Structure 1
Amino acid sequence: MADLDYVALFAAMPTPCVVITRDFVIVAANPAYLEATGKTRDDLIGRPLFDVFPDPADSGERNVRASVDRVVETGKPHTMALLKYDVPVEEPPSSFEERWWSLINSPVTGPDGEVEWILIRAEDVTAYVQAHDLRLHPPAEASSEAMALEAALFERARELQTLNVELSEENARDRQVAVTLQKAMLLTPDLEKHPNVAVRYLPAVETMNVCGDWYDLVDLSGDRFSVGVGDVVGHGLEAAAVMGMLRSVLSAAMRALERPAHALEVLGLYARSMESALNSTAAEAMVDPRSGLIIYSNSGHLPPVLVHPDGEFELLDQVLDPPLGARPQHVPCSQAGQPYASGDTLVLYTDGLIERRDEDIDVGLDRLCRTLARHRALGPRQMADAVLEDLGVAGGAHDDISLIIVRL
Structure 2
Amino acid sequence: MTQPGIDYAAVFRRLPSAVALLTPQLMFVDANEDYLALSGRTPGEVIGHFLFDVFPDNPGQAKASGMRNLGASLRRVATTGERDAMALQRYDVEDPERPGQWNERYWSTVNTPVLGEEGRVVLVAHRVEEVTELIRARGGPEGGRARVLEAELYSRARELQEVNERLRRAHAREREVALALQAAMLPAPQPLRQHRVAVRYRPATGALNVCGDWYDLVDLPGEGDRIGVSVGDVVGHGLPAACVMGQLRSALSAASRVAEGPAGALEVLGLYARSVPGAESTTAVNTFVDWEERTVTYSSAGHPPPALLRADGTVEFLDQATDPPLGARPEHVAGPQAVVPFGEDDTLVLYTDGLVERRGEDIDAGLARLADVLARHRGAGPERLADAVLGELLPPGGVTDDTALVVVRL
TM-score (norm 2): 0.74
CA shift digits 1:328-367 (9 cap, x unpaired): 3332333222111120010111122112233322332233
Find 1:105's aligned residue among 106, 111, 114: 111
Q: What is the CA distance between 1:205 and its match in structure 2?
A: 2.3
Identify the range of structure 1 (178-187 vs 6-15) with the bigger mean alpha-carbon deviation: 6-15
Match runs of 1:302-313 below 5 Å: 302-313=304-315
Residue number in structure 2 paired with 1:357: 359
CA shift digits 1:154-205 (9 cap, x unpaired): 2222222222222223223223322332233223354576672112222222
Q: What is the CA distance between 1:248 and its match in structure 2?
A: 0.7
SS in 1 for 2:323: coil
CA shift digits 1:277-333 (9 cap, x unpaired): 122111111111111111222222222111111111212223222322223333233
**Contact kept in structure 2, 1:229 and 1:283, CA below 8 Å:** yes
Residue number in structure 2 paired with 1:246: 248
**Contact kept in structure 2, 1:356 and 1:364, CA below 8 Å:** yes
Which residue type is aligned with residue 296 of structure 1? Y
Structure 2 unaligned regions, length at least 5: 57-67, 92-105, 132-140
Matched, 1:69 2:76: no
**Contact kept in structure 1, 2:346 and 2:409, CA below 8 Å:** yes
Find 1:314's aligned residue among 302, 305, 316: 316
Structure 1 residues 153 and 63: alpha-carbon distance in aligned structure 2, compared to 1, 3 A threshold: closer
Matched, 1:277 2:279: yes
SS in 2 for 1:348: strand
Structure 2 CA distance, aligned partners of 1:35 and 1:250? 63
Identity of aligned residues (%): 47
SS in 1 for 2:253: helix
**Contact kept in structure 1, 2:73 and 2:86, CA below 8 Å:** no
Matched, 1:171 2:171: yes
**Contact kept in structure 1, 2:281 and 2:328, CA below 8 Å:** yes
**Contact kept in structure 1, 2:77 and 2:124, CA below 8 Å:** no
Residue number in structure 1 paired with 2:186: 186
**Contact kept in structure 1, 2:232 and 2:284, CA below 8 Å:** yes
SS in 1 for 2:229: strand
Which residue type is aligned with residue 364 of structure 2? D
Structure 1 residues 404 and 83: alpha-carbon distance in aligned structure 2, compared to 1, 3 A threshold: farther
Which residue type is aligned with residue 196 of structure 1? R
**Contact kept in structure 1, 2:73 and 2:84, CA below 8 Å:** no
Which residue type is aligned with residue 378 of structure 1? A
Matched, 1:153 2:153: yes
**Contact kept in structure 2, 1:108 and 1:117, CA below 8 Å:** yes
Q: What is the CA distance between 1:217 and its match in structure 2?
A: 0.9
Which residue type is aligned with residue 360 of structure 2? D
Structure 1 CA distance, aligned partners of 2:225 and 2:318? 22
Equivalenced residue count is 374
**Contact kept in structure 2, 1:372 and 1:387, CA below 8 Å:** yes
Residue number in structure 2 paired with 1:79: 86
Which residue type is aligned with residue 86 of structure 2? T
Residue number in structure 2 paired with 1:289: 291
Structure 1 unaligned regions, length at least 5: 54-58, 85-99, 126-140
Structure 2 CA distance, aligned partners of 1:2 and 1:315? 39
Structure 1 CA distance, aligned partners of 2:238 and 2:378? 35
Structure 2 CA distance, aligned partners of 1:261 and 1:161? 51
Structure 2 CA distance, aligned partners of 1:396 and 1:250? 29
Residue number in structure 2 paired with 1:117: 123
Residue number in structure 1 paired with 2:338: 336
Which residue type is aligned with residue 29 of structure 2? A
**Contact kept in structure 1, 2:89 and 2:153, CA below 8 Å:** no
Structure 2 CA distance, aligned partners of 1:41 and 1:314? 47
Structure 1 residues 154 and 243: alpha-carbon distance in aligned structure 2, compared to 1, 3 A threshold: same
Structure 1 residues 83 and 151: alpha-carbon distance in aligned structure 2, compared to 1, 3 A threshold: closer
Q: What is the CA distance between 1:102 and its match in structure 2?
A: 8.7
**Contact kept in structure 2, 1:82 and 1:161, CA below 8 Å:** no
Residue number in structure 2 paired with 1:376: 378
TM-score (norm 1): 0.74
Q: What is the CA distance between 1:382 and its match in structure 2?
A: 1.9
Structure 2 CA distance, aligned partners of 1:326 and 1:8? 48
Q: Cα RMSD between the aligned structures?
A: 4.3
Which residue type is aligned with residue 348 of structure 1? L
Structure 1 residues 362 and 143: alpha-carbon distance in aligned structure 2, compared to 1, 3 A threshold: closer
Which residue type is aligned with residue 235 of structure 2? V
